[in-house]
Amino acid sequence: NGAFRISPEEGRWTWFSTNNQFGTPMGIMQLRLQYEDGSEEIIGSDNSWTASSSPIIYNNVYGGEDYDARL
């Protein structure tokens, strides 16, 4: 998953910029719900799901988060 391919840059932990070639950003989700009565429901993402920009302009588990409220 690349979690071990990080390096300190500019005072924070970041991904190696030269080898950060993972393709087009995307998200895939599958949620499996198990109810007390034993029944199950699976909810998954599909082409109807959309994404948009947000004020979070940087996020990294080690480097923290940058939030720009002007966006």
pLDDT, tens digit (0-9, with 9 covering 90-100), for 19-29: 555 667 778 99
| Residue 44, CB-side half-sphere exposure with 13 Å CA sphere | 5
How confident is the model over 31-46, as a mean pLDDT? 97
Name the residue with higher pLDDT: 8 or 30: 30
How confident is the model over 36-60, as a mean pLDDT? 91
Q: Residue 6: which residues within 8 A CB-CB, separation 6 or more? A: 13, 14, 15, 16, 60, 62
Over residues 9-19, the pLDDT tens digits come to 566 665 555 55
Burial of 6 (0-12, 13-18, 19+ CB in 10 A): middle
Name the residue with higher pLDDT: 61 or 3: 61
Burial of 63 (0-12, 13-18, 19+ CB in 10 A): middle
Q: Which residues pair with 8 in a beta bridge?
A: 13
Question: pTM of the prediction?
Answer: 0.44
